[in-house]
Amino acid sequence: MTINSLIAQGMISSLLVYLLTKLNKKLGAFLTVLFSGYLLFVIFGFQNSAGEVFSLIHFGEFELTFMTSHYAWYFAIVLTLTYFLVSFFNPYWMKKMVNPAAYNMLFMVSMVGTVGVFYAKDFLTLFIFYEIVVWSSLFIIPMGKSRKTPVIYYTISSIGSFAMLYAIFYLYHSVGSFDIQAVSEAMSQAPNTYRFVFFTMIVAGLTKLGIFPFHTWLPAAHGSAPHTFSPVLSGGLVKVGGFIALITATVIPSFKILAGDLQLMGVPFENYLIMLLGAVSIVVGTLMAIKQEDAKKLIAYSTVSNSGYIIIGLMLNDQVGFAGGMMHVFNHAMASGAMFLSFAAIAYRTGTTKMSELGGLIKRMPLTFAAYLIAIISLAGIPPMSGFASKWLIFQGLASNGMMFIALAAFFGSIGSFLYVFRPLSAAFLGQLSPKHKDVKEVPWMMQIPLIIMSFLTIFYGIFPGRILAYISKIQESVGLKGVEIEGTKIIAATGMWDSLVITLVFGGGFMLAAILFFISPKAKPVDQMNTYTSGEFIYDPDHYHYAKNYYATFENNYGNKKRVELFFDAVALRVKEFGEMVKTMFFAKSVSFSIFWIMLFFTLVYFWGDKV
């Protein structure tokens, strides 16, 4: 199987899925599961392939080609895995979807598109598939809760993608080739061109990752997309931005080309600027996530924050931090995918994702709870889940370079993540079970599969992060960096090491000790959750007795409630519209005399400067 035929198959089968879904809703949805599994399987076979070239089609005078590489495989496998796991939810949502056939088709198209992005040999192919991913995901979002957010998504996304397009053609104009390899070689002679291209091209990555100040679309779109697509958006498609950043800064080796530039804390100032943006988005994402009432919005803001970690890691371009950033791509895909999926499961059963309307669901949906718990432990970067490995590497990378302001943001985001990940746990799963949800059941077995697999992967790679890091070190070597050092389960950085297996064993031992202590003590008597200390007062209504609204009100008071970036973008949009209205009144007025005036003005101006001809 080759990449080009895989993509052709994907495009054709997306049409097939559309027709099948028209015939039978469930059948089409099952086909998406089947095909995404097949795609995952085939992509998996490319694990060790690098440098194989496949040609897709001639596009006018250009040729679209694919090339396998280690970094492409890594991203592709993360994405297809996310798509595959999420697709298990599809069959159950067909009844609730407004346009299931289109949903399934676009789901497939965007999945195939991501593979195309990662395996692109040249920038044109990359851009084509990037845009395919954008518009195919774009049309899924309005099937959810909002008709405005896809427009915001498209606006910010197109700012990024068109900036990239501009950079691509600027490169083509100056280098004469779209080929990434050729460009990367040519750039080493032309740091000035590269500096411009770096900033214009990375905007695409930043917008897709949701880095400040382009983060506004992300919570809006992820929070209001259909429940089954939010995990793909957050766990998967955001990583496409990471890939663009990787291409811009690492595959085209910024650390070599810009070595002559001003170096800030060990990296070129260009990279440092992007890292600062990442740091700001960590802080903004964290602060905003803390105060969301809707669980999906909360997870979406946490994505903003975690994208900051990814971009910081990637921009470090060193042995340790880069590996951390790359590994965070996987960790965040699994963690945020699982978080979104568990809330999709809740929404499937209860019909809401508002935390204040939920509560106590652990008794009804224990498996969903377990998946969510494991995901948040990983997202908060607590051992022994896989999230700790990547955060540890990023911290070490920052520490060895002494980037204290970025470290400040990273630490703040890391501790702040305890706050926001805990809130849905507390408000939706723990606490009092609302009488409304007394008869809620665990989700069907097919929806449990992805939750179980994601949890398993999170734990497995938490205990053996070396498995992923070994592959990442291959990637690092292929782009000219020093590979991250691993010894068995020990992960070694210049500034220290840790052993994931030992931590797990010690934690397990501690837990066993505590359990022994627990079980030799007198047995506890189970009581109802309403039987709690209430100063002797009698409580009858679990809904009123559930602490879920304004959870961190006291903390939020410290930083207020102004969405300044959103307001700024709104203001810009308003100005554009006002300008349009002005054009309408000035050039398309009711009276003809206006246009006579303009025509006269045109002639006057031309004749003023006419003598210069």
Interface residues for another protein in 400-419 (CB under 8 A)? 400-402, 404, 407-408, 411-412, 415-416, 418-419
**Phi, psi (5° rounding) for residue 565?**
-65, -45
* Closer Cβ to another protein, 58 or 441, answer by number: 58
Q: Minimal distance in Å, beta carbon 479 to another protein? A: 25
Q: What angle do CA 480, 484, 489 make, to 5 degrees?
A: 155
x/- binding map, residues 180-219, to another protein, per CB under 8 A?
----------------------------------------
Residue 269 binds another protein, judged by CB under 8 A: no
What are the DSSP calls for 424-487, one per residue?
A: HIIIIISSPPPGGGTT--PPPHHHHHHHHHHHHHHHHHHH-THHHHHHHHHHHHHTTSPPPEEE
* Closer Cβ to another protein, 44 or 587, answer by number: 587
Structural contact between residues 160 and 204, judged by C-beta atoms closer than 8 angstroms: yes
**Phi, psi (5° rounding) for residue 360?**
65, 20
For residue 194, which of 240, 260, 146 has the smallest C-alpha distance? 260
Contact positions with another protein (CB under 8 A) in 105-164: 124, 127-129, 131-132, 134-135, 138-139, 142-148, 150-151, 154-155, 158-159, 162-163
Stretch that binds another protein, among 68-76, 202-210, 241-249, 583-591 (CB under 8 A): 583-591
Tell me which residue has tokens 């899924």: 140
**Phi, psi (5° rounding) for residue 497?**
-150, 165
Residue 23 binds another protein, judged by CB under 8 A: no
Contact positions with another protein (CB under 8 A) in 481-500: 494-499
Q: C-alpha distances in angstroms, 350 versus 69, 192, 354, 359?
A: 44, 56, 10, 11
Q: What is the 3-state secondary structure (H, E, C) of 567-579?
A: HHHHHHHHHHHHH
Residue 399 binds another protein, judged by CB under 8 A: yes
* Closer Cβ to another protein, 562 or 593, answer by number: 593
Write out the two tokens for 610.
């006419």
Q: Is 558 helix (H, G, I), strand (E, B) or coil?
A: coil
How, if at all, do strands 490-493 and 496-499 pair? Answer: antiparallel
Task: Specify which residues 179 forms β-bridges with.
Answer: 122
Q: Minimal distance in Å, beta carbon 612 to another protein? A: 6
* Closer Cβ to another protein, 48 or 550, answer by number: 550
Q: Using CB under 8 A, pick the residue from 41, 547, 564, 568 that binds another protein.
A: 547
- Provide the 8-state DSSP code for 522: P
Contact positions with another protein (CB under 8 A) in 321-350: none
Q: Which residues contact residue 296 at a Cβ distance below 8 angstroms, ignoring those fewer than 6 apart?
A: 222, 223, 224, 227, 230, 340, 343, 353
Stretch that binds another protein, among 73-81, 311-319, 386-394, 460-468 (CB under 8 A): 386-394
**Phi, psi (5° rounding) for residue 225?**
-70, 165
Q: Minimal distance in Å, beta carbon 287 to another protein? A: 10
Q: Minimal distance in Å, beta carbon 466 to another protein? A: 15
Q: Using CB under 8 A, pick the residue from 248, 302, 342, 432 that binds another protein.
A: 432
Q: Using CB under 8 A, pick the residue from 52, 185, 477, 541 that binds another protein.
A: 541
Residue 58 binds another protein, judged by CB under 8 A: yes
Write out the two tokens for 127.
């851009």
Q: C-alpha distances in angstroms, 605 versus 345, 585, 586?
A: 66, 22, 18
Give the Cβ contact number of residue 402 at 10 Å: 10
Residue 367 binds another protein, judged by CB under 8 A: no
Q: Using CB under 8 A, pick the residue from 260, 439, 524, 560 that binds another protein.
A: 524
Q: Using CB under 8 A, pick the residue from 62, 199, 269, 460 that binds another protein.
A: 62
Q: Minimal distance in Å, beta carbon 272 to another protein? A: 14
- Provide the 8-state DSSP code for 523: P
Q: Minimal distance in Å, beta carbon 55 to another protein? A: 14
Contact positions with another protein (CB under 8 A) in 437-476: none
x/- binding map, residues 549-578, to another protein, per CB under 8 A?
--xx-xx-xx-----------------xxx
Q: Minimal distance in Å, beta carbon 50 to another protein? A: 26
* Closer Cβ to another protein, 127 or 309, answer by number: 127
Structural contact between residues 211 and 218, judged by C-beta atoms closer than 8 angstroms: no
**Residues touching another protein, count (CB under 8 A):** 154
Q: Using CB under 8 A, pick the residue from 435, 488, 510, 563 that binds another protein.
A: 510
Q: What is the 3-state secondary structure (H, E, C) of 47-64?
A: CCCCCCEEEEEEECCEEE
Q: Using CB under 8 A, pick the residue from 54, 170, 269, 460 that binds another protein.
A: 170
The kind and range of the H/E element at 85 are: helix 70-87
* Closer Cβ to another protein, 48 or 605, answer by number: 605
Q: Using CB under 8 A, pick the residue from 361, 425, 447, 481 that binds another protein.
A: 425
Residue 581 binds another protein, judged by CB under 8 A: yes
Stretch that binds another protein, among 26-34, 93-101, 438-446, 461-469 (CB under 8 A): 93-101
CA distance 313 to 102: 37
Q: Is 66 helix (H, G, I), strand (E, B) or coil?
A: strand
Q: Using CB under 8 A, pick the residue from 260, 439, 533, 561 that binds another protein.
A: 533
Q: Using CB under 8 A, pick the residue from 532, 564, 567, 572 that binds another protein.
A: 532
Q: Minimal distance in Å, beta carbon 400 to another protein? A: 7
* E-strand stretches of 72-164: none
Stretch that binds another protein, among 82-90, 205-213, 322-330, 533-541 (CB under 8 A): 533-541
* Closer Cβ to another protein, 101 or 479, answer by number: 101
What are the DSSP calls for 97-108, one per residue?
A: -S-HHHHHHHHH
CA distance 7 to 112: 6
Q: Minimal distance in Å, beta carbon 474 to another protein? A: 25
Write out the two tokens for 262.
């001003």
Structural contact between residues 209 and 203, judged by C-beta atoms closer than 8 angstroms: no
Q: Minimal distance in Å, beta carbon 297 to another protein? A: 12
Residue 422 binds another protein, judged by CB under 8 A: yes
CA distance 18 to 101: 5
Q: Minimal distance in Å, beta carbon 81 to another protein? A: 25
End-to-end CA distance of the chain: 62
**Phi, psi (5° rounding) for residue 506?**
-65, -40
Q: Using CB under 8 A, pick the residue from 12, 514, 567, 571 that binds another protein.
A: 514
